[in-house]
Amino acid sequence: ETLPSLSFRPSYALLGEPTGGNLYYGRDGWIGIELNFSSDESERLNRSMEELNSFLIRSSSRYYSDCYDNKDVIVNKPVYSQLNGCKAQIRIIHRLRHKNESIRLLNQYREIARYICKPYRTKVCSVGVSRLAIDTALGSLTVRGVSFPWRTDPYNSFFEESYLALRTAQCRSSGGVWDNSRIGSCTSGDILTNRFNIPTVGYGPGNEQFDNADTDEVEQNLRDVFFGNAVIAHRLLVPPKNFTESDSSQG
């Protein structure tokens, strides 16, 4: 939010998230979905939740067993509440590969829930994006549980120049995207690319498998990646050796 207020327009962004010293140009996203239910009878509610939860787990295992070690979908157990009647909630975390996929998933889960719950007379109250409460120094903050996928064109000059700089300096690095095997993790690349249209590349030390995890730590590749960042910055920011002001005036 500070970029517009500063009238600051970056030409590109380099993220220091763990990549194992590789140069990454994209990442999948994820969405948290809340399904809320109510019923006049607790027994009917329990039976409908058991059947729905079982179906969601079976379907996710069947359709996504070959993708990312079956970590495209996480289906949580139903949470029940007896306040103001019999209520229940099921939370789902689903991988996003396309920016417009979230609407399709919300409609899909809504129709599945209605179809399975109808024989039990369980009402589907709402299906929407989950909300996450975060405590900050300025107070409590509620945010939507969604991170959209993002990509920077690998033929973009920023990525090409960065990759060439590393190769010239004999830094071992390969191009690609984050594996994102830990569904629910994210980077600021979503905002930078999708909202501000800033070419973004990830290049950082550490194992990407532990990115945003409780065990996230950086011990490996520190020296190599620090050197690589300096090499990239030098190639992008420092004029060529024979560059003169007359060259600049001539475009």
Torsion of CA 160, 166, 168, 169, to 10 degrees: 160
E strands present in 119-245: 123-129, 131-136, 139-144, 146-147, 150-151, 175-176, 200-202
Write the CA distances from 3 to 83, 136, 144, 167, integer angstroms: 44, 21, 21, 32
Fill in the amino acid letter for 168.
T
User: Which two tokens mark 75?
Assistant: 């289906």
CATH class of 29-136: alpha beta
Q: CB of 26 within 8 A of CB of 190?
A: no
Local confidence pLDDT in tens for the 251 residues of the chain: 666 677 777 888 999 888 888 999 999 999 999 999 999 998 999 999 999 999 998 887 644 444 334 468 888 999 998 776 689 999 999 999 888 899 999 999 999 999 999 999 999 999 999 988 888 777 888 888 898 999 999 888 899 999 999 998 888 888 888 876 666 677 788 888 998 899 999 998 887 776 666 666 666 678 888 999 999 988 888 765 654 444 444 44
In residues, how long is the chain?
Answer: 251
Round to whole Å and give the CA distance between 81 and 79: 7
Q: CB of 97 within 8 A of CB of 28?
A: yes
Domain range 2-28+149-239, CATH architecture: 3-Layer(aba) Sandwich (3.40)
How many CB atoms are located within 10 Å of the residue 134 CB? 9
The pLDDT tens digits for 27-51 are 999 999 999 999 999 899 999 999 9
Domain boundaries, the chain: 2-28+149-239, 29-136
Same fold, 2-28+149-239 and 29-136: no
Fill in the amino acid letter for 29.
G
How many C-alpha atoms does 110 have within 13 Å on its Cβ side?
A: 11
119, 120, 110: which is closest to 86 by C-alpha?
Answer: 120
Three-state SS at 86? strand
Residue-by-residue DSSP string for 141-162: EEEESEE--EE--TTSHHHHHH
160, 104, 101: which is closest to 127 by C-alpha?
Answer: 104
The pLDDT tens digits for 116-140 are 999 999 999 999 999 888 887 778 8
Strand partners, 138: none
Q: How many whole angstroms from its chain centre is CA 111?
A: 25
